[in-house]
Amino acid sequence: MPKQHSKRRYMAALIWLSLSFLPGCELPDLFSDPVTTGAEDFMLEAMTETEPQEMPSTTERTIFVYVVGEVVNPGVYELGSMDRLEAAIRAAGGFTEAAEPASVNLARTMTDGEQVEVLSREAYAAGVVIHSQTGSGLVNINTAGVKELTELPGIGETRAQAIIDHRNKHGPFETIEDIMQVNGIKQVAFEQIRDKITTGR
Protein backbone atom coordinates (compact mmCIF):
# COMPACT_ATOMS: atom_id res chain seq x y z
CA MET A 1 0.00 0.00 0.00
CA PRO A 2 1.47 3.42 -0.92
CA LYS A 3 2.62 5.53 2.03
CA GLN A 4 0.24 8.42 1.27
CA HIS A 5 -2.76 6.09 1.03
CA SER A 6 -1.84 4.49 4.38
CA LYS A 7 -1.64 7.92 6.01
CA ARG A 8 -5.09 8.86 4.74
CA ARG A 9 -6.53 5.63 6.15
CA TYR A 10 -4.89 6.31 9.51
CA MET A 11 -6.37 9.79 9.68
CA ALA A 12 -9.79 8.53 8.69
CA ALA A 13 -9.65 5.87 11.41
CA LEU A 14 -8.88 8.49 14.07
CA ILE A 15 -11.76 10.67 12.93
CA TRP A 16 -14.08 7.63 12.77
CA LEU A 17 -13.29 6.80 16.42
CA SER A 18 -14.02 10.40 17.46
CA LEU A 19 -17.33 10.58 15.60
CA SER A 20 -18.48 7.18 16.82
CA PHE A 21 -19.27 8.70 20.21
CA LEU A 22 -21.70 11.23 18.73
CA PRO A 23 -25.36 10.11 19.03
CA GLY A 24 -27.26 9.76 15.78
CA CYS A 25 -24.13 9.96 13.63
CA GLU A 26 -24.32 7.29 10.87
CA LEU A 27 -20.81 6.22 9.88
CA PRO A 28 -19.69 4.36 6.77
CA ASP A 29 -17.79 1.09 6.81
CA LEU A 30 -14.23 2.25 7.42
CA PHE A 31 -12.65 -1.09 6.69
CA SER A 32 -13.85 -1.45 3.10
CA ASP A 33 -11.99 0.08 0.20
CA PRO A 34 -12.13 3.90 0.56
CA VAL A 35 -11.86 4.31 -3.17
CA THR A 36 -15.24 2.64 -3.68
CA THR A 37 -17.04 3.69 -0.49
CA GLY A 38 -15.79 7.25 -0.11
CA ALA A 39 -15.21 6.66 3.62
CA GLU A 40 -12.16 8.85 3.79
CA ASP A 41 -13.92 11.72 2.05
CA PHE A 42 -16.80 11.40 4.51
CA MET A 43 -14.47 11.51 7.48
CA LEU A 44 -12.46 14.47 6.21
CA GLU A 45 -15.66 16.36 5.36
CA ALA A 46 -17.04 15.67 8.85
CA MET A 47 -13.83 16.96 10.41
CA THR A 48 -14.09 20.17 8.39
CA GLU A 49 -17.71 20.74 9.40
CA THR A 50 -16.99 20.28 13.10
CA GLU A 51 -13.98 22.62 13.22
CA PRO A 52 -14.60 25.57 15.57
CA GLN A 53 -15.06 28.89 13.85
CA GLU A 54 -12.45 31.60 14.41
CA MET A 55 -13.62 34.47 16.58
CA PRO A 56 -13.35 37.84 14.84
CA SER A 57 -10.62 40.07 16.21
CA THR A 58 -11.57 43.10 18.30
CA THR A 59 -11.78 46.25 16.22
CA GLU A 60 -9.66 49.12 17.48
CA ARG A 61 -11.58 52.28 18.40
CA THR A 62 -10.87 55.65 16.83
CA ILE A 63 -9.87 58.47 19.17
CA PHE A 64 -9.04 62.14 18.64
CA VAL A 65 -6.08 63.74 20.41
CA TYR A 66 -5.14 67.43 20.52
CA VAL A 67 -1.36 67.84 20.27
CA VAL A 68 0.04 71.26 21.26
CA GLY A 69 3.31 72.83 22.33
CA GLU A 70 6.66 72.14 20.72
CA VAL A 71 5.56 70.05 17.72
CA VAL A 72 5.85 71.00 14.06
CA ASN A 73 2.12 70.94 13.30
CA PRO A 74 -0.07 71.36 16.43
CA GLY A 75 -3.64 70.21 15.96
CA VAL A 76 -6.27 67.50 16.45
CA TYR A 77 -5.30 64.08 15.12
CA GLU A 78 -7.26 60.87 14.54
CA LEU A 79 -5.53 57.83 16.02
CA GLY A 80 -6.26 54.29 17.19
CA SER A 81 -7.18 53.61 20.82
CA MET A 82 -4.15 51.31 21.18
CA ASP A 83 -1.67 53.77 19.65
CA ARG A 84 1.11 55.11 21.83
CA LEU A 85 1.80 58.81 22.35
CA GLU A 86 4.75 58.46 19.98
CA ALA A 87 2.23 58.00 17.13
CA ALA A 88 0.52 61.29 18.02
CA ILE A 89 3.84 63.15 17.99
CA ARG A 90 4.67 61.65 14.57
CA ALA A 91 1.23 62.66 13.27
CA ALA A 92 1.96 66.23 14.40
CA GLY A 93 5.17 66.29 12.40
CA GLY A 94 7.53 65.43 15.23
CA PHE A 95 9.27 67.60 17.82
CA THR A 96 10.54 71.08 17.08
CA GLU A 97 14.20 71.89 17.66
CA ALA A 98 13.26 73.58 20.93
CA ALA A 99 11.26 70.60 22.28
CA GLU A 100 12.17 68.52 25.31
CA PRO A 101 11.10 64.93 24.46
CA ALA A 102 11.38 63.93 28.13
CA SER A 103 8.42 66.20 28.95
CA VAL A 104 6.05 63.52 27.59
CA ASN A 105 5.87 59.75 27.99
CA LEU A 106 6.05 58.46 24.41
CA ALA A 107 5.24 54.88 25.48
CA ARG A 108 1.84 55.52 27.06
CA THR A 109 -1.56 55.01 25.45
CA MET A 110 -3.99 57.89 25.09
CA THR A 111 -7.67 58.63 25.69
CA ASP A 112 -10.29 60.17 23.42
CA GLY A 113 -10.38 63.96 23.71
CA GLU A 114 -7.03 64.19 25.46
CA GLN A 115 -4.71 67.17 25.08
CA VAL A 116 -0.99 66.41 24.82
CA GLU A 117 1.43 69.26 25.46
CA VAL A 118 5.12 69.08 24.60
CA LEU A 119 7.28 71.49 26.61
CA SER A 120 10.34 73.35 25.44
CA ARG A 121 13.70 72.56 27.02
CA GLU A 122 13.61 75.89 28.86
CA ALA A 123 10.12 75.32 30.26
CA TYR A 124 10.96 71.76 31.26
CA ALA A 125 14.16 72.86 33.03
CA ALA A 126 12.21 75.57 34.86
CA GLY A 127 9.80 72.98 36.24
CA VAL A 128 6.71 74.08 34.33
CA VAL A 129 3.88 71.60 34.90
CA ILE A 130 1.72 70.42 32.04
CA HIS A 131 -1.92 71.35 32.59
CA SER A 132 -3.63 68.14 33.68
CA GLN A 133 -6.97 69.18 35.15
CA THR A 134 -10.38 68.57 33.63
CA GLY A 135 -13.10 71.18 33.26
CA SER A 136 -14.48 70.01 36.61
CA GLY A 137 -11.19 70.70 38.37
CA LEU A 138 -10.27 67.05 38.88
CA VAL A 139 -6.57 66.13 38.70
CA ASN A 140 -5.80 63.61 35.97
CA ILE A 141 -3.52 61.07 37.66
CA ASN A 142 -2.41 59.78 34.24
CA THR A 143 -0.90 63.08 33.11
CA ALA A 144 -0.38 65.29 36.20
CA GLY A 145 3.10 66.38 37.24
CA VAL A 146 4.56 66.47 40.74
CA LYS A 147 3.29 70.01 41.43
CA GLU A 148 -0.34 69.19 40.64
CA LEU A 149 -0.26 65.88 42.49
CA THR A 150 1.11 67.50 45.64
CA GLU A 151 -1.93 69.78 45.69
CA LEU A 152 -3.99 66.69 46.55
CA PRO A 153 -4.55 66.13 50.30
CA GLY A 154 -2.04 63.74 51.83
CA ILE A 155 0.16 63.60 48.70
CA GLY A 156 3.69 64.89 49.23
CA GLU A 157 6.52 65.00 46.73
CA THR A 158 7.60 61.42 47.51
CA ARG A 159 4.13 59.99 46.88
CA ALA A 160 3.65 62.20 43.82
CA GLN A 161 6.86 60.91 42.28
CA ALA A 162 5.84 57.35 43.16
CA ILE A 163 2.59 57.86 41.19
CA ILE A 164 4.52 59.12 38.16
CA ASP A 165 7.07 56.30 38.39
CA HIS A 166 4.28 53.70 38.64
CA ARG A 167 2.40 54.89 35.53
CA ASN A 168 5.65 55.20 33.56
CA LYS A 169 6.51 51.60 34.41
CA HIS A 170 3.08 49.95 34.23
CA GLY A 171 1.14 52.25 31.92
CA PRO A 172 -1.83 54.53 32.64
CA PHE A 173 -4.25 53.88 35.50
CA GLU A 174 -7.48 52.27 34.27
CA THR A 175 -9.56 53.35 37.30
CA ILE A 176 -8.94 55.79 40.14
CA GLU A 177 -8.87 52.80 42.52
CA ASP A 178 -5.71 51.59 40.73
CA ILE A 179 -3.77 54.38 42.42
CA MET A 180 -3.76 52.16 45.52
CA GLN A 181 -1.26 49.96 43.68
CA VAL A 182 1.30 52.73 44.27
CA ASN A 183 3.56 52.23 47.26
CA GLY A 184 2.44 54.40 50.16
CA ILE A 185 -1.14 54.90 48.96
CA LYS A 186 -3.66 52.65 50.69
CA GLN A 187 -7.39 52.88 51.45
CA VAL A 188 -7.16 55.76 53.97
CA ALA A 189 -5.07 57.93 51.63
CA PHE A 190 -7.32 57.03 48.69
CA GLU A 191 -10.48 58.11 50.53
CA GLN A 192 -8.96 61.59 50.96
CA ILE A 193 -8.44 62.09 47.23
CA ARG A 194 -11.04 59.91 45.47
CA ASP A 195 -13.38 62.85 44.79
CA LYS A 196 -10.54 65.00 43.45
CA ILE A 197 -8.94 62.72 40.84
CA THR A 198 -9.74 61.20 37.46
CA THR A 199 -8.02 58.88 34.99
CA GLY A 200 -9.35 60.84 32.00
CA ARG A 201 -11.01 57.69 30.65
What are the pLDDT digits (tens) for 29-56? 545 555 444 555 555 555 555 555 555 4
**pLDDT higher for 118 or 23?**
118
What are the pLDDT digits (tens) for 141-189? 887 888 888 888 889 888 988 998 888 888 888 889 999 999 889 999 9
The string of DSSP letters for the chain reads --HHHHHHHHHHHHHHHHHTTSTT-----TTS-HHHH-HHHHHHHHHHHTSPPPPPPPPPPEEEEEEEESBSS-EEEEEETT-BHHHHHHHTT-B-TTB-GGGS-TTSB--TT-EEEEPBHHHHHTTPPPP-B-TT--EETTT--HHHHTTSTT--HHHHHHHHHHHHHH-S-SSGGGGGGSTT--HHHHHHHTTTEE---
Is 132-201 CATH 2.40.340.10? Answer: no
pLDDT at residue number 60: 76
pLDDT at residue number 144: 81
Span(s) in the chain for CATH 3.10.20.600? 60-128
pLDDT at residue number 15: 67
Q: Is this prediction's pTM over 0.85?
A: no
- Domain spanning 60-128: which CATH class is it, in words? alpha beta
